[in-house]
Amino acid sequence: MSEPKVIAIDGPVAVGKSTIGLLTARRLGFRFIDTGMMYRALTWHAMQKAVDLENDDALTELANATDVDLRSGAACDGNYAVCVNGTDVSDEIRRNEVERNVSLVARVAGVRSAMVEKQRRLAADGRVVMAGRDIGTVVLPDADLKIYLDASPEERAWRRHVELDRAGKKSDIDVVLADLRRRDKIDSERSRGPLRPASDAKIVKTDGLEVEQVLAQVMGLVEAVQ
């Protein structure tokens, strides 16, 4: 098989999908698409418009009416930027309140249908690494390579705790773990695109591994399908 043109990376929250996906894309010269950022963007937009996050119909309507795009560059035009209706919202979507609520928005079947359509358009030209929760199972089921990153809740909670502390945000490890378990439950029990490995995904356990060690395993899987 020639070099894989589409690589899907799935896994639970705080497992390192964005970091590994971006580094893999850079190694290959591919485009990186972080679908989690798209759901964060829609969540931020819903909150700005005071949409009830328990109202599935209202969230679905908003998702269909909103242009969510990933581009390279400030003001959506030249470093990695997340845009809502043409406006760069990259900083806003990293706020704690967005983080806490994104799983509520992403659980809605109508929202996921709208976002999957957008994500498939972004990947249509190939040479892409796409990361998320349902890329290999729903968004890109025909991806050339499917990878599922996994780690224990405790390991992921510790990583997120360290990440927050380094960013100057005080966090309690027990609170972080509880929130992570809550989000895992929502992600794995939603009706559309529940969190699970694709039947043909390569599972990479990341407990106790440094970023470079995980990346080496992923690149080994890429090379194995070439």
Element (H, E) at 149: strand 145-150
Q: Among candidates 108, 114, 134, which has minimal Cα distance to 198?
A: 134
Hey, what domains does the chain have and what are their CATH numbers? 1-30+126-220 (3.40.50.300), 37-114 (3.40.50.300)
- What's the confidence (pLDDT) of residue 3? 63
- What's the confidence (pLDDT) of residue 78? 45
Query: Is this structure's pTM higher than 0.75?
Result: yes
Hey, is 215 helix, strand or coil?
Answer: helix
Pair 40, 102: CB distance under 8 Å: yes
What is the sign of the dihedral through the CA atoms of 30, 75, 62 and 54?
positive
- What's the confidence (pLDDT) of residue 151? 97
- Sheet holding 128-132: strands in order across? 31-34, 128-132, 6-10, 145-150, 202-205
Element (H, E) at 204: strand 202-205
pLDDT of the chain, 226 residues: tens digit per residue: 466 799 999 999 999 999 999 999 999 999 999 999 999 999 999 999 999 999 999 999 999 999 998 876 544 544 568 999 999 999 999 888 998 899 999 999 999 999 999 999 989 989 999 999 999 999 999 999 999 999 999 999 999 999 888 888 889 999 999 999 999 999 999 888 899 999 999 999 999 999 999 999 999 999 998 6
